[in-house]
Structure 1
Amino acid sequence: MSKHDCYSCAAPNSMHPFKGRSFNVNFKQMNRMVHSLNGYECAECAEIEFDAPSAERYARAGDELIEDAKQVMADEMKRIRRKLHFTQKSAVQLLSGGGHNAFSRYERAEVEPPKPLFVLMRLLDRHPELVRELQAINECTDINALLVQKQQQRHE
């Protein structure tokens, strides 16, 4: 392995070889370490360039992480929904307002749940007592009272 120019910053002879290094593959705050990678690193801009076998292993690890993350999220959505005693239909009505089979698609890993919904499900998993609060908020009783008040102010 010899030095060569960086394709990113064009610094001459700045790409230095490395062997056996580990790099993290990231996807939506989830990560996986890939070990024993070889390639070059730019001394000027820190750009990384893997050799062909390392690039293939790194890319494959990234693809696997995405698939694994989707399946873990799907399994979590299903587990939490069942823990909270929601049907797929009631979960949609209470939590997302999405299509009638949205949770079915989330739970089969066909579609990733929106991040706010996934965060809400995880929060409810940790604090199931909040389900009653969520149901009360969803009924909009307090908002309807504010709307009546606003209407009364207009007519005064």
Structure 2
Amino acid sequence: MSESHIRPARPEDDDALGRLDRDAWSPLHSVQSRPQPPYDPFFDSNHRPEHYLVAEEADGTVVGYIRLVAPTPLASNRHVRQIQGLAVAESGRGRGLGRALLRSALQEARRQGAVRVTLRVLGHNKPARSLYESEGFAVEGVLPGEFLLEGRYVDDVLMGRGVSG
């Protein structure tokens, strides 16, 4: 992954991230329908640039992102961060970019004072589950048959891990 680096997202990444998100869409990880034109902006009031880290090639091409946010606005939940999206462009797969984004998000969570990071992943998304497990995430709950995707009921798997200091 020497030709790529991870950096905070910027407002001008909107178009590139929108394209990447549409190109990476799959029922393996998305519970929403395939995006159709006209496309909404990638960033909005709930999805701000400061919530994202991006993987960028040496030539400036954005090839991945991860979204890290507080799971709720509650003060009692302030010590937790949640990963709510991870995508890598086809051109960036197999190079460790997903792992690099995940590790960068864990470092950012620690920097923000979090002691836990959680996420949700679809039960049939074995590549993502394997990645998360290899980085110390454990299954903490399963919502059986939570989503009906392409005629199949799919589990929603809740995973989490501590963030060591």
* TM-score, shorter chain, exceeding 0.5: no
More helix by proportion, 1 or 2?
A: 1
TM, length-normalised to structure 2: 0.25
Determine which structure has more spread, i.e. the larger CA radius of gyration: 1
Structure with more contact order per residue of length (Cα contacts < 8 Å, sep ≥ 6): 2
More strand by proportion, 1 or 2?
A: 2
